[in-house]
A = this chain, B = another copy of it.
Amino acid sequence: ERCGYPEVIYGLHKSAERILSASREILKLKTNVLISRINQEKANILITEFPDAFYCETAQIAYIGDFIQKFDSKLLIISAGTSDESVVKEAYYSALAFGLKPTLIQDLGVAGLHRLLAYKDELSQADCIIVAAGMEGALPSVVGGLTTAPIIAVPTSVGYGANMEGVTTMMAMLSSCASGLSVVNIDNGFGAAYAALRMIKTFEKK
């Protein structure tokens, strides 16, 4: 455990065996294991050994342990479109595994403001908001004007052409006219949940 948080394995470039052996070692320490970016095929092998493990294919996340809520702060996770689903689900299940209390609302894109405005209460009651969007990445700017809560913007790679695989989205979020947004890497739902954890853990502890 690097700095007091659950143990995480980044599964993308690792073989199933490697993920298994790393998991076994972590579990010896009686720590739960979160595996990100793990595909169905590797997950099947994992589940053969750990039949109780949780796995969500959309989020590409596996988790060996119990989802036990440890924090009370309201973490709201929203997305601009249904194409951002894998990213917000990565954020959602990471948050669950961290003991946070997340709520997920999808498809609140700025080209259909009425849908977003229908959730004004949820926005104003949240203690922390993760906002994922692809394409032009405008959603965090609009949300930033509707609430004073901390906002973690996650650019997604949804889009094509001028979108530059999410680079345009990320740069746009960093250039936002709404003050005090902070941004994580493209498609980094895990990192956004972790940023929320840093915040909530620190302040609930006080």
Q: Please give the residue numbers on chain A whose beta carbons come within 8 Å of chain B beta carbons, in ascending order.
A: 2-5, 8, 10, 13-14, 73, 80-83, 109-113, 127-128, 134-138, 141-142, 144-152, 155, 157-164, 166-188, 190-192, 194-199, 201-203, 206
Contact = CB atoms under 8 A, between A and B. Distances in A.
Contact of A135 (B13, B176, B180): B176
**Chain A binding surface, main DSSP class:** mixed
Contacts of A146: 3, 113
A186 B3 CA distance: 28
A111 B168 contact: no
A194 B177 contact: no
26 contacts: A2-B112, A3-B148, A4-B148, A5-B148, A5-B179, A13-B83, A110-B145, A111-B141, A111-B144, A127-B202, A127-B203, A136-B175, A136-B176, A150-B198, A152-B182, A161-B175, A161-B185, A161-B188, A164-B171, A171-B171, A174-B184, A180-B191, A181-B191, A181-B195, A182-B192, A203-B206
A142 to B, nearest CB: 5
A111 to B, nearest CB: 4
Contacts of A195: 150, 180-182
Given A3-B144, A148-B202, A168-B175, 6 more contacts: A3-B147, A138-B141, A138-B177, A160-B186, A171-B172, A203-B206
